[in-house]
A = this chain, B = another copy of it.
């Protein structure tokens, strides 16, 4: 009792309480003034690893360096090139979203997109033959992230597809993403019907070359390359969050590229068709927002001792994350299924588990992390406006800093919560908030809705263990 001797004789006792409310309530009933602290025990089973990572003397400065590097990145649209050339994607090699996967454990929409890719490339001329080829090892595939690319939903990239190529001037890094096909029945949602293939062919023959010419003209002009990061900054002030709302972004891209598209020498018909296609698809800019976010998180890669997340990605079966301090190691767990709003007559039963590299948006602090900037998104992904504001506020609890380039107007221009810290996720039990599209569970269906989802906690449990193993021996 020596330790607390005299405590109750003190005149000015201040009480702070944490955990279960029983004691706080008892004091409160006796009119004792107290401050309740919102503390929770760490995620069960991870305390030892957490302790070790928290004791790593490198952690604070490593995370600070990760944040500094992320905030310093830019993103310029420097080229549009075919994947075979831009990514050295060999014949019969595909990329896909999320962590690595096999044909056997691939979900319906992932299988559908791979089948569509085989037909599009002409490696088979019908779905049955394509499936046979895929199941027999006739096609190789690996994650987009392994080549610094990102792909929305199934994220299947084949050698002929045109890719946006982005440059981060602060690091010299490049990242890539395919061109957005629109909504509904599209390859990335697992559809592979004739109209899907015909659209992909038009994008390959007309849209890609037209965009390439416009981008090259623009780069050579006094205006210089389209500044994708500047568009992202503006979007956040225009009701977009950069993941499921890219309306203002798409419109600004049209504005920026348009004069050079007009002067590209393309035929009036191709120009009018291309502008109608881009203007008719509010999500077109997503495929520029994603590689810009990839550049931001790439900059934070491979810092020893840093517990900042650099990748969150889903392949439709598993959710995988990568962490700065553990390099390219994937920490995976079965993906959850989003909850949200459904198109037409689709229901929860039609939805595939979480899929796509688009959670790179949240990894960089936009998307679900900046929902407060885009309250109208609740009409697309579900939830209420107060929920959207609360989601952003909650994300400040698990991030290492704020990005003033993405100032959220309604929060008085507070910067987007940036840099998910594995230790904060484990300590608070708060999971990153992701806005996402929902693919149909079966191959060939396409989009069934959009909603909200979290990564499985097991990814972060794996990551804290991985960080603990990589930390210096203590004592």
Q: A272 to B276, Cβ gap below 8 A?
A: no
CB nearest to A408 among chain B residues: B375
**Across-interface contacts of A256 in B (CB, < 8 A):** 279
Complex Cα distance, B263 from A262, in Å, reads: 11
Interface size bracket, A side: 20 to 34
Q: A237 to B239, Cβ gap below 8 A?
A: yes
Work out how many copies of this chain go into the complex. Answer: 2
| 8 A Cβ contacts from A210-254 to B | 234, 237-240, 247-248, 251-252, 254
A421 to chain B, nearest CB (A): 28
Complex Cα distance, B251 from A252, in Å, reads: 7
| 8 A Cβ contacts from A391-417 to B | 409-413
A249 to chain B, nearest CB (A): 10
**Across-interface contacts of A268 in B (CB, < 8 A):** 262-263
Q: B248 to A258, Cβ gap below 8 A?
A: no
Complex Cα distance, B107 from A235, in Å, reads: 39
Q: Is A472 an interface residue (CB 8 A)?
A: no
Q: Is A172 an interface residue (CB 8 A)?
A: no
A263 to chain B, nearest CB (A): 5
**Across-interface contacts of A384 in B (CB, < 8 A):** 412
A377 to chain B, nearest CB (A): 9
CB nearest to A280 among chain B residues: B255
Q: A239 to B276, Cβ gap below 8 A?
A: no
Complex Cα distance, B252 from A255, in Å, reads: 10
Q: A272 to B263, Cβ gap below 8 A?
A: yes
**Across-interface contacts of A413 in B (CB, < 8 A):** 385
Question: 1/0 contact trace for A255-278 toward B, CB 8 Å?
Answer: 110110011000010011001100
A415 to chain B, nearest CB (A): 14
**Across-interface contacts of A458 in B (CB, < 8 A):** none
